Amino acid sequence: MTKVHNFSAGPGILPAEVLKQAAEACINFDNLNLSLLEISHRSKNYEKVMEESRAMVKELLGLNDNYKVLFLGGGASLQFAMVPFNLLFTEGTAGYVNTGVWATKAIKEAKLIGNTQVIASSEDKNFNYIPKGYEIPSTLDYLHITSNNTIYGTQMKEFPKTTVPLVCDMSSDIFSRKVNGNDFSLIYAGAQKNMGPAGATMVAVDETKLGKTGRKLLSMMDYQVHIKGDSMYNTPPVFPIYVTMLTLKWLKNNGGIPWIEQLNQQKADTLYSEIDRNSMFVGTTAKEDRSHMNVTFVMHKPELEVEFDKLAKEANLSGLKGHRDVGGYRASLYNALPLESVNALVQVMQAFEKKFA
């Protein structure tokens, strides 16, 4: 089979061995001669999957006993509402840092639920940098941040220091680098960018922060209900959770977070060095805020994009088209993307420069 270098921004690349195991489970799961897709989520065989998935998250994030891990449906977009429903007091205020499209959407949902304050934003420069040096009011019920921005290619290199509960959308860079999970009151992430397929969302929440807002919640919007039900208050997205478990096991078995952080640094350094060297391309974000997950760049001569696209297609490079809000190109370097693929992209960029510079 032809090797395709998959730079898709999401759903993103998964490890080949994980795809193989997942495919097998669709036919014969756990030697039951039944498909994973057709057994009860209440069976002991599947309960083991859920338990191991939650345990892997806690281990990789280094979470203490206060934290509960949930796997839910609805994507990170549902969390834009669940977070304020569960953490924003009826007479309180939530704080948000606006660093892109997804943060903007989270702010929109929070404003429908209660008092919401945008305390910092990079919208003034089309989100091409991460705000810094802003004041965080000590009266906030929580501060919401987005660690990595897939569309604009920025990433928080340091997280805010604050005494208020910190909430982070880590959808596109979770498990890509070392973080102290205990610094956050709540972390959420859609699986489809860096830890599994579309359809499951992971939430890790400090249980001591729940049940204090004075709100009456619908059961499906209440973290405490899902905690009590072990993420199975309703039928969970069984297959995405299983593939997430396999992906986290793949990560752990290869050396865990220290291993993948070093590899991700190498991939990012390789590509950014070429962008800065190559006379045909320029990066779109502030250098100090460049994402290690989503590398955005444009051409000095946009009229030549069609020529670059031809070379990329010939080299089996896939998923490089930039988001319409930025244009140009976006190479997503998620955990499962090998360094080989980055080198293939760099070779095409060099060949393009040699031909058209």
Set 193, 209, 222, 289: catalytic member: 193
Number of neighbouring beta carbons within 10 Å of residue 234: 13
Q: Long-range CB contacts (< 8 A, 24+ apart) of 23-28?
A: 25/242, 26/239
> Residue 37 and residue 320: Cα distance in Å, rounded?
32
Length of the chain (residues): 357
Q: Which of 68, 141, 169, 250 is catalytic?
A: 169
Q: What angle do CA 24, 25, 30 make, to 5 degrees?
A: 115
Copy the structure tokens of residue 252: 């752990």
To the query of whether residue 161 is one of the catalytic residues in this protein, the response is no
For the question of residue 193 being annotated catalytic, the response is: yes
Task: Confirm if 143 and 99 have CB atoms less than 8 A apart.
Answer: no
CA distance 211 to 271: 46
Nearest-angstrom CA–CA distance, 29 and 18: 14
Give the DSSP letter string of 180-209: -GGG-SEEEEEGGGTTS-TT-EEEEEEGGG
Would strands 115-121 and 93-98 be described as parallel, antiparallel, or unpaired? parallel
CB atoms under 10 Å from CB of 221, counted, come to: 15
The one-character DSSP state at 148 is E
Alpha carbon 32 to its chain centroid, in Å, reads: 33
Kindly name the residue from 68, 102, 209, 250 that is annotated as catalytic: 102
CB atoms within 10 A of CB 214: 10
Dist. CA 270–CA 27, nearest whole Å: 40
Please give the structure tokens belonging to residue 7. Answer: 């730079």
Q: Is the peptide bond before 11 cis (omega within 30 degrees of 0)?
A: yes
Q: Give the list of residues 6+ apart from residue 295 with CB closer than 8 angstroms, or none.
A: 153, 268, 271, 272, 275, 283, 330, 331, 332, 333
Q: Is 108 a catalytic residue?
A: no
Q: Tokens 């345990």, residue?
A: 55
Please give the positions annotated as active site.
Answer: 102, 169, 193
